[in-house]
Structure 1
């Protein structure tokens, strides 16, 4: 059961918001930002049974380069694991696979690849991991993913090549699992360019990042959760964590079936 408090004002005086199952605490979410307490006060507990038998959540982070995805995905996995949840960090492209090594060579400007071909390589890189992804989710592991199909579509469509339309870019991704939570870290291209390490890879130019941002905006719908990534790291993390815990709970308790990307049809 959820440990009860007398109203939101009383809750503000407590540094932690606890989930309790029977006589012991399963996990806790640190709430150091009082402005966010109203949304957390409606959160539901993750039962011990659901944690042990339910499926994991697919949590995807998207956004332009240098918006903080690497930092936030790492922090989220650490937080979920500290709560006793099974969680893994995945990244796309996965540069360890056969297609990933080709993509890495392209991104580091060590090779040239046709624009349509490189898009299909990025898609194949995700398909290489589909079976492992579904297996992990069904076994109760939450996957926190740094970039997914949305990046593939946005980066290719941003090149402005008429034959590489958004619909063409989306087609190879059909059949991959859809995220249970899509967190879009919003940061202006100019702000991202000012961060350390910008410009080390092929797509890290200001013009390209501005074009990618426009494509993300055209893809964005009501299912996306937009997070202001210009704030301090810990403030971003606490908002991310709150959304993630709720997604994990819903998946663990069977409230969200696995669905296919774009169509949202249930996956067999």
Structure 2
């Protein structure tokens, strides 16, 4: 049964966004127990081929799009970044021809110990916690959570219970807190209950966790932790001047055209119109 469902997904019988048969329907069709059907569905989710979620108000197990999505992790930090009314996630999504959406929440609470330590605050300090669940083409894709010291949040309006469409980096800069340094830590993790609910994955599914600590010349401004689906994303860091970065992008684009193929494991620029964007 698992092999049948996997082949059906790859053959296009089930398209991204389609519901898979329910566990009960699978049990009836294959003459198996519901628990065996559930195991097969869980394995499809573990493989990254499906997720639990909603489409048009109906809940079920839904086929995911395939391929990796490029995310240029340094784009939001580039000094020459053009003014825009959208944040880095939205900008990156559109470059890869995906439709972005977000669900935002803000609370004030005591942060995890490692966050308080990075912010230089006592462990019991209540901070502003801003969380955005990020979706691509309706699929839950990543969760970005940032923590801010209460004094900084009050000065910059980050204690508002609303999403900031232009992005918090621009908001901080506008209010006199231009970030000049960033430290990124990337590791893997297994999905916990919150991850499972937010991203539609099973417990223990592989995740990629990026923790960024940002600062001005004089103080830490924020700690941001982004949780992404393991095996579904490719993080790209670009450093140097604009001319050099553009030269690298042009060469990658030209190399891909000459090869006339799409290699899911090879680096891609995520900026051009190409067959890659349609696959992601």
Same-fold status (TM-score > 0.5):
no
* Structure number having the greater helix percentage: 1
Q: Which has the higher contact order (CA 8 A, sep 6+)?
A: 1
Give the TM-score, by structure 2 length.
0.30
From the CA coordinates, give the structure whose radius of gyration is larger: 2
Give the TM-score, by structure 1 length.
0.31
